[in-house]
Amino acid sequence: MPQLFNDELLEAFINNFYGYGNFKGKYWFVGLEQGGGNSFQEIQTRLEVWDNDQRPMLEDAAEYHRTIGNTFANYAAT
């Protein structure tokens, strides 16, 4: 049986998640995309973490990547 994403969650992520940072920041850096997503499970984990965090428009990069299990991430809080 093929693995399927929750369509509502995926669409909400696509339409509402802007990336990482802080709306009160003096500068904004906009990039093409964050990388990753090499497997169904990796994408599913990212969606679930975002959903569990109350679906924010922006995530703290360091905390988000620690939560998804990105062990090579060494980010400062945003």
Query: Residue 3 above 70 pLDDT?
Result: yes
What pLDDT is stored for residue 73 in this prediction?
60
What pLDDT is stored for residue 54 in this prediction?
98
When pLDDT is averaged across residues 17-35 and rounded to a whole number, the result is 78
Q: Where are the domains of the chain?
A: 7-23+36-67
Compute the distance between CA of residue 49 and CA of residue 27 in angstroms, rounded to an integer.
Answer: 26
What pLDDT is stored for residue 77 in this prediction?
59
- Residue 50's Cβ-count burial label (10 Å; 0-12, 13-18, 19+) is buried
Tens digit of each residue's pLDDT (9 = 90 or more) over 30-45: 665 667 788 999 999 9
Query: Residue 59 above 60 pLDDT?
Result: yes
